[in-house]
Amino acid sequence: MPVLAVAGAFLHSNTSIGEQLAKRLPGWSVVKSTDEAARAAEVAVCWNQPPGTWEHLRAVRMAHSIGAGVDHLLGDPALPDVPVCRVIDDDLARRMAEYVLWCTLYYHRGFDIVARNQREKIWQRPPNRLAGQVSVGVMGLGQIGAHLATTLRDAGYDVRGWSRSGKPIDGVRVHGGDAGLGAFLGELEILVCMLPLTSETTGILGHELFARLRPGAKLVHCGRGPQLREQDLVAALDAGQLGGAIVDVFDQEPLPPDNALWAHPKVMVTPHMAAVMPIPEVVNQIAENCERLLANAPLLRVVERAAGY
């Protein structure tokens, strides 16, 4: 009987993932990665797997993420030379667009100001501007980022975009490459980070980038946790260079109780909820690749390691 090992800290419980995989793969033995039986595992299903995982799982032939992100796998120096697969949500772009549109409205219509005024019992209307008077920039224009940009465009916002290639999008002012980054950042009231995690984007949301934004700009971060330098964010908020931040992804998840972002008055913490794929669909995609592995059929949604996605 083939063995599948579940490793790491999941957004949903390990037990739920394991139980559903066991039901979907009745011919497999589904165990925790720390169990003795996991030494025979051909598949490792992972999310933030702990150090030492691969020393125990030496028979693995495929490593599978439960999310679209794979930086927790590719960033592990002990990861064996096996195919790395991920799950892809066909509705991911729509879910992400809903979240980003809400964040944009939150700042555009001054709900951050209203929330602060309520705590202080102040009755005062925030500015009421048309969407076209608000400049919103999407940093990262892949499939999802481009969808976000067009969703914001269709909602009437003054949308700017930035990507390495600078590939044009109708109705969006797109900047490209290092040469276009400064002009892109300097125009924005709201910056949305949707970059993939690479060696170049790790730590990109830091002091140098914040200094290039218009003073008082707001940040919406739903890219990857390691892209944000949290201490630099706090410093920029305290200095007034940034006027607020909504942060959905973090270098350490769950966010520790003593993290300064929890209590910062200009920060809204959301628990990695911008686009959560339903667990039954996650299970189905993982199970499909497990079946393909045993049948020696081509695997689906395989990650190109050099690109990082």
Q: Which residues are catalytic, by number?
A: 224, 272
Locate tokens 């999802």: which residue? Answer: 144
In whole angstroms, what is the distance from residue 95 CA to residue 97 CA? 5
User: Residue 184 — φ and ψ, nearest 5°?
Assistant: -60, -50
Q: Would you tell me how many other CB atoms lie within 10 Å of the CB of residue 167?
A: 12
> Which tokens belong to 53?
């995982």
In whole angstroms, what is the distance from residue 69 CA to residue 116 CA? 34
**Could you give the residue ranges of the DSSP H alpha helices within the chain?**
14-24, 53-56, 71-74, 92-108, 111-119, 143-154, 177-186, 207-211, 230-239, 279-294
Residues facing 5 on adjacent strands: 31, 44
Q: How far is CA 131 from CA 10, 50, 158, 303, in A?
A: 38, 45, 7, 38
Q: How far is CA 283 from CA 45, 63, 213, 250, in A?
A: 10, 14, 41, 24
User: Residue 125 — φ and ψ, nearest 5°?
Assistant: -75, 135
